[in-house]
Amino acid sequence: MTSATALNNRYGDDKVLDGCGLFGVMDTSGARFGVEAALRAISNMRERGNGLGGGFAVYGIYPQFKEDYAFHIMYLNPRSKDRAEEILTNSFDIRRAEPMPTDASARVVNPPSVWRYFASPKRGLLRGMTPDDYVVSSVIRVNTETDGAYVFSSGRDMGVFKGVGFPEDVAKYFRLDEYEGYLWVAHSRFPTNTPGWWGGSHPFGMLDWTVVHNGELSSYGTNRRYLEMYGYSCTMQTDTEVLAYALDLLRRRQNLPLPLVAEIFAPAFWEEIDVMEPREKKLRLTLRACYGGLLMNGPFSIIAARHGEMVGLSDRLKLRPLVAAVEGQCFYLSSEEAAIRAANPTLEKVWNPLGGEPVAATLKNAPILVAT
């Protein structure tokens, strides 16, 4: 038994059920705040992880570079850095390039070299592409052509920070106490069927979409092949990666509303579809026909975020927990109510969204429950 497996599987079972911890908090007024609330919440769920992965996504942290794409890149060897920077300098106007500020005293495991770049696409190279499509194409090039460089964050005025360690260690390593944002998402990983490594820790992101996930996607192979038809390439050795790319495809590129995306990821059961009104039945059958490859099969709960929006969703049977809460202008999502109360003991409303039912909040709006 490997050391990682022993940490996961102290009783020698054939399969270890995961218990990842999820937490997200969004100030719907857009007011920025520090990491403390997210740290208290994710620390409260320490038993849901085991030190093999932790991470954060933060929105609104680079106001001085808000018009630039912020690339966070991990390098596993010097050659990969040279190749990645060749791709970036040929494709982007780089405003700043620097090593990621870190704290070497943090208890993380074998950290790679991590750099960040603030850059904009070279206008003459877009050739009819949108800047966002150009960035996605460039991210996939770096991740597939460099043999050791991985872009793990690529949005504007936001960033992903993740690695191998407990979330508290990852926060210390990346000096997150020096940042402020209006939306924080945190994850404590308990890897089961995939390696515990820096690129495989959560959150996963593409442009400003990020996702953290508790559970297991047995449909990963089907999901990955579907996304490959649209130019995406999965390189992080973890099933959750497909969720980030699927959100980018459905929400940004195809502009589908959240209720339809939820219906694609966690569709109604066939016996429910059979007794629907004709119009509703036709919609469900059409979604199944067009997007069957993006059905997320298996137990899951996720928190997904982008600028101005935070969303929670679990599978139809709700085999993984998800709790929502509101206090004033703040909206919370988590695996456990106790974690939310660790961040804020006084809550106006706490509820458990139904399986397959997305719950979301947007900037300058009260949190809204979105029925499917």
Nearest-CA neighbor of 79 among 113, 111, 56? 113
- As a whole number of Å, the end-to-end CA separation of the chain is 44
Answer yes or no: 234 catalytic: no
User: Is-contact 150 139, C-beta < 8 A?
Assistant: no
Give dist(CA 149, CA 129) in Å, integer.
24
User: Is-contact 301 213, C-beta < 8 A?
Assistant: yes
DSSP annotation of 112 reads P
Tokens of 317: 């049977």
Secondary structure of residue 300 in the 3-state scheme:
strand
Q: What are the strands of the beta sheet with 330-334, ordered from one edge?
A: 158-163, 54-59, 183-188, 21-27, 330-334, 323-327, 349-351
DSSP letters spanning 251-283: IIIS---HHHHHHHHSPPPHHHHHTS-HHHHHH
Q: Which of 20, 234, 290, 330 is catalytic?
A: 20
Catalytically annotated residues: 20
